Copies of this chain bind each other. A is one copy, B any other.
Amino acid sequence: MNRIITISREFGSGGRTIGREVAQRLNIPCYDHELIDKIAEESGFSKEFIRESGEYATSSAWFSNALAARDYHGHTTQDQVFFAQSRIIRELAEKESCVIVGRCADYLLRDKADLLKVFIYSDMQSRAERIVKLYGESADSPEKRLKDKDKRRAAYYQIYTDMKWGSHAHYDICLNSGVIGIEKCVDILAQLY
């Protein structure tokens, strides 16, 4: 059975960077942007659409979900992205050991692989500094952007997994990257693997 590290993360916590560095250290692939490319290729949806709707509920998810256009199976386009990415994540996990960032992989692969389920989080201030450094300023304050992203990510997770995102009970290890530092998080995860 392949050994997979799944990384869930708060926006701006550096979870993606940690995933990438752990994978490099262990010499296994890390699926993040690559996953979006694959899903786009197989599903026909645009990368931009997948990036957003494969991990974030729309701002008023429950409401818009009720009104959204549906195919004749009753599925929205967001559902279709979820099905495509579920299938691809399961195929990847069967093929090889790897790191998968986000996209409910911890939920999708439960009982399907030997998982190390990681949650990366950090305090608001460290995350705010990080997103401004990485993505620049915008009209909204970094705090507002973070809260909005976290809320939509949590809603997405809840819709498709029926579990509470970010509750420690779903994970094997939760690391505060703001306190521990990205490099030490990488050390710990590479050692645990």
Instruction: Mark A residues whose CB is within 8 Å of B.
Output: 119, 121, 123, 166, 168-169, 171-176, 179-180, 184, 187-188, 191-192
Measured between beta carbons, the chain B residues less than 8 angstroms from A180 are: 172-173, 192
Known: A168-B176, A173-B175. 15 other contacts (CB 8 A): A119-B174, A121-B169, A168-B168, A168-B174, A171-B174, A171-B176, A172-B176, A172-B180, A173-B174, A174-B175, A180-B192, A187-B191, A188-B188, A188-B191, A188-B192
Q: How many copies does the complex hold?
A: 2
Q: Which residue of B lies closest to A181 (CB)?
A: B192
CA distance A81 to B176 in the complex (A): 32
CA distance A123 to B121 in the complex (A): 21
Shortest beta-carbon distance, A189 to chain B, in Å?
10
Measured between beta carbons, the chain B residues less than 8 angstroms from A188 are: 188, 191-192
Q: Which of B121, B174, B184 is the one whose CB lies under 8 Å from A192?
A: B184
Q: Which residue of B lies closest to A171 (CB)?
A: B176
| A168 in contact with B166 (CB, 8 Å) | yes
Shortest beta-carbon distance, A117 to chain B, in Å?
8
Measured between beta carbons, the chain B residues less than 8 angstroms from A172 are: 175-176, 179-180
Measured between beta carbons, the chain B residues less than 8 angstroms from A171 are: 174, 176
Q: Which residue of B lies closest to A124 (CB)?
A: B169
Q: Which residue of B lies closest to A170 (CB)?
A: B176
Measured between beta carbons, the chain B residues less than 8 angstroms from A184 are: 192
Q: Give me 16 A-to-B residue pairs in the complex whose CB atoms sit less than 8 angstroms apart, sorted by A's number.
A: A119-B168, A119-B174, A168-B168, A168-B174, A168-B176, A171-B174, A171-B176, A172-B176, A172-B179, A172-B180, A173-B174, A180-B192, A184-B192, A187-B191, A188-B188, A188-B191
